[in-house]
Amino acid sequence: MAWTKDKALTLIREVGLVPIVRVPTEEDAVRAAEAIAQGGIGIAEITMTVPSAVRVLEGVAGRYGDKVLLGAGTVLDPETCRAAMLAGAEFIVTPSLNLQVIELARRYGKPVLPGSLTPTEVVTAWQAGADMVKVFPCGAVGGPKYIKALKRPLPQIEMVPTGGVNLENTAEYIKAGAAAVAVGGELMDLKALKEGRLDQIVETAKKFVQAVRAGRAALAR
């Protein structure tokens, strides 16, 4: 599949989940992408903190780029952003607010989810052209209650809470107004990945999908 910006954003909105993949090897990343696809998510954010991250992105893009929407996470500067896009990243995620990264991603037509925490940062990111705003570290400052508080004055900004997201609170985040949630270790069990027990990750992925649906169903009532 050719991932246009609209297609990428539509998938993130529909699925409501952005799995964060922090793994030590390209082989682990390929396994993770396979499990994510089987679990019905079809999105993976590979962090630039993993060893040889650019090579890992290239490898996963080569094998699963048409089936899984690949993003690059923990992008700190425009140089890393450009390298990630050239390696196959179709969306960009940052842990902090960097206006140059937003500008570069927009220039090349890639969705960008910059990290922000305070209302000022969230609005600044949105005004700079963020497609969605990653609220991080959300769990440390109130979790779903914090998202609900931010959304009251800022209903027009799509927010993706990150940090502390798990199966127990995913539905609450969605009910609080999150457009999607980003989840890391709670989904990507490194031990299961290493041992080739992809079925365990697939089942966890399915549970997260169900949690998002449950949150949306509660909102629709």
What does the pLDDT look like over 123-147, one tens digit per residue? 999 999 999 999 999 999 999 999 9
Going by C-alpha positions, the residue among 8, 17, 41 that lies closest to residue 216 is 17
CA 16/CA 31 separation, integer angstroms: 22
Whole-number average pLDDT of the chain: 95
For residue 2, the model assigns a pLDDT of 83
Going by C-alpha positions, the residue among 41, 119, 114, 17 that lies closest to residue 74 is 114
CA 99/CA 86 separation, integer angstroms: 20
Q: Which of 34, 45, 172, 186 is catalytic?
A: 45
Residue 102 · residue 114 · CB < 8 Å:
yes
145-171 CB burial, b ≥16 within 10 A, e <16: ebbbebbeebeebbbbbbbbbbeebbb
Going by C-alpha positions, the residue among 8, 64, 62, 74 that lies closest to residue 36 is 64
Q: Which pLDDT band, with edges at 50, 70 and 90, does 150 fall under? A: very high
Q: Which pLDDT band, with edges at 50, 70 and 90, does 30 fall under? A: confident
Q: Is 134 a catalytic residue?
A: yes
Q: Is 79 a catalytic residue?
A: no
Biggest CA-to-CA distance, the chain? 46
Residue 24 · residue 55 · CB < 8 Å:
no
The one-letter amino acid code at 40 reads G
The one-letter amino acid code at 129 reads G
Q: Which of 134, 158, 172, 186 is catalytic?
A: 134
For residue 111, the model assigns a pLDDT of 98
The topology under which CATH files domain 5-220 is TIM Barrel (3.20.20)
Indicate the pTM of the whole model.
Answer: 0.96
Distances (CA, A) of 166 to 80, 112, 159, 183: 29, 23, 17, 7
For residue 49, the model assigns a pLDDT of 92
